[in-house]
Amino acid sequence: MTKETKWSIDKTHSEIGFKVRHLMIAHVRGTFKTFDADIKSVEKDFKTADIDLWVDPSSISTGDLKRDEHLKSPDFFDVLNHKQINFTSNTIINAENGDGYEMWGDLTIKGITKHIKLNVVIGGIVKDPWGNEKAGIEISGTICRSDWGLTWNATLETGGFMVSDEVHILCEIELIKSINKLQPIVLENTTLKSSN
């Protein structure tokens, strides 16, 4: 009999990030500080995983407060009207080049859902000094932000644009295996009557 395994994200050892080309010459990196996921697999086989991930776009951080506020505005994530970025997947297969895995899923931003492919490298599963089972996963991929209506840009005098359409997704995730705890059984109070 197969056994379902539940995993949660160890947020203190995980990062959901991205980078975009700026001024056509360099990259700007950013992260989302608030995120969580519901992940289930058969035993410890991540190729069987069902993933439901959500990210709070208002938690974006690029190291510049003015830029972060612009990214939260209707020009980009419009965080007042769209509270979550969601990614769901139940399809993980061996990569065609034999290096790691491909994860296919639906990414929803600003109410627009697109089917995307991400690259996955599983670092392994170990026990930490406290007996918790941990799994390390690297996730990467490239999407075009304009597919989700994130189209703001500015033209440069030398040609080209201030911000590239391509966004590189870069995630380092550490999962912790959930422990199924036995729930206490509560018995209703009963009154036994004795017969004389």
- Residue-wise pLDDT tens digits, 47-77: 899 999 999 999 999 998 998 999 999 989 9
Alpha helices in the chain (DSSP H): 65-72
Distance separating alpha carbons of residues 2 and 177, to the nearest angstrom = 16
| C-alpha distances out from residue 27 to 109, 156, 158, 168, Å | 22, 16, 18, 10
Secondary structure class of 23 (helix, strand, coil): coil
Distance separating alpha carbons of residues 88 and 38, to the nearest angstrom = 10
| Model pLDDT, residue 193 | 46
The full set of domain ranges for the chain reads: 4-177
pTM for the whole thing?
Answer: 0.84
Q: What average pLDDT score do residues 89-118 get?
A: 92
Identify the CATH homologous superfamily for domain 4-177.
Lipid/polyisoprenoid-binding, YceI-like (2.40.128.110)
pLDDT at 15 over 60: yes
- Residue-wise pLDDT tens digits, 168-177: 999 999 999 9
Distance separating alpha carbons of residues 69 and 65, to the nearest angstrom = 6
